[in-house]
Amino acid sequence: MADHALPDPQAIAQTVAAAQSAEEQLVVDEHQNTAGEYEFLDYSSLVGTELEVDSTEDQDSTLGDELNSVSTSLATSVLQGNWEHGRRYHSYRTGTYFIPNDDEEKDRLELQHKIWHIVLSGRLYLAPLNLETLHDALDLGCGTGAWVMDFADAHPKCKIVGTDLSPIQPTAVPENAEFIVDDASADWAFGKKFDYIHTRSITSGIKDWDRLLKQAFDNLNPGGWVELHELHMPIKCDDGTASPNSAIIKWSVDIYEASLKFGIDMLASLKHADRLREIGFTEVQETHIKWPIGPWPKGKKEKQIGAMFQQDIAGNLKGVSQKIFTQILGQSQEEFEVFIQQAQDDMYNPKIHTYFPVDIFWAQKPF
């Protein structure tokens, strides 16, 4: 039995509805200028660029009642999929992706969308898009389609396509939004080129980033932008509160090594800037931030992100790990259950200060 109390999952899986709606209009007013472009954002000020441990005992005290349920009612009409251990996985190109696509996973992705909203101060992207010439956009690995829907609403004159292996997106969408079942790693055949291409958290499903980014380059109009928002593993701990032998660190190292066996490099984003330049992109920009696991850092927004991300990862740890540990690493179900509980306990332990490194890049195709 762990010596710390686990937070109520219902209380953790929440976001700041009032603060979010207030921030949204503020961000639009401040950053969009009359020329139809977004003004330059000092991305060094993004939430999570630096984290400082909050030494107070009650790390949740500043969260109050601001965290509300982010579960979203999405389309119930989806393909049957493949069921294992009570979880549903995609059936299109079976085995390409090892994370479930059921309602529990959709809620997790919706929660992660809220985290990105806070991290980016309400913005959907950092690239300096020219809104006057923005006509076609593409989101690869769109998940629940939350980002696509927000982008479509914000840019009604731009048509946006969202692709994913799983048809888990809503059926009621803006007229300028479209979802299709497709594999971003396969040959692209959209029949048109785009002014903006976006990815978010698709590293765990991409084996060949050079090929994907080359296809992005070839499918952009001159002057178009590509933007990548990706997390990488293993996770980090800067103050030694999680040792290399701790379950939480072992979990992330095992995920990294298992992914390599499957042909996926969870550290791929560390080379994205070089890849973009080698392919021919210019104006390559990057920023790197930290997502805390738990509300251990100082700062109101940092705590919000930490609590929400703790639920995102720890609250769904078994589901996102099941197939990797039992099928790729060969653990028995009993071994897996014991280990995953230990890793989950570490993630909920306020004395352990770990975080996921997050890498953001944007670059332009030359005119």
What is the pLDDT confidence band of residue 250, given thresholds at 50, 70 and 90? very high
| Mean pLDDT to the nearest integer, 27-54 | 55
- pLDDT band at residue 322 under the 50/70/90 scheme: confident
Please list the residues that pair with 37 across neighbouring strands: 130
The pair of three-digit structure tokens given for residue 3, joined into one six-digit string:
């010596």
Farthest-apart Cα atoms in the chain, separation = 61
Give the chain's count of helices (H) and strands (E): 10, 11
pLDDT score for 74: 29
The structural domains of the chain, ordered by start, are 79-365 (3.40.50.150)
Distance CA 303, CA 293 (A): 9
Calculate the CA dihedral of residues 175, 176, 181, 187 and round it to 10 degrees: 150
Residues 6 or more apart whose Cβ sits within 8 Å of residue 247 = 339, 342, 343, 345, 346
Percent of the chain with pLDDT over 90: 59
Q: What is the pLDDT of residues 330-339, one digit of tens each?
A: 999 999 999 9
Tens of pLDDT, residue by residue over 64-95, are 444 433 223 323 333 444 445 444 443 434 45
pLDDT in tens, 171-208: 889 999 999 988 898 999 999 999 999 999 999 889 99
Angle CA(20)–CA(354)–CA(360) in degrees, nearest 5? 55
Tell me if 316 sits within 8 A of 104, measured CB to CB: yes
Helix, strand, or coil (residue 322):
helix
Residues 6 or more apart from 281 whose CB is under 8 A from it? 217, 226, 363, 364, 365, 366
Report CA-CA distances (Å) from 76 to 22, 37, 138, 167.
31, 38, 24, 10
Alpha helices in the chain (DSSP H): 9-12, 17-31, 103-119, 146-154, 209-218, 247-261, 272-279, 300-313, 317-323, 333-348
Q: Report how far apart, in Å, the C-alpha atoms of 165 and of each of 122, 152, 169, 180, 318 are.
A: 27, 21, 11, 9, 21
Fill in the DSSP letter of residue 124.
Answer: S
CA 152/CA 138 separation, integer angstroms: 11
Length of the chain: 367
DSSP per residue over 145-197, as a string?
A: SHHHHHHHHH-TTSEEEEEESS--S-SS--TTEEEEE--TTS----SS-EEEE
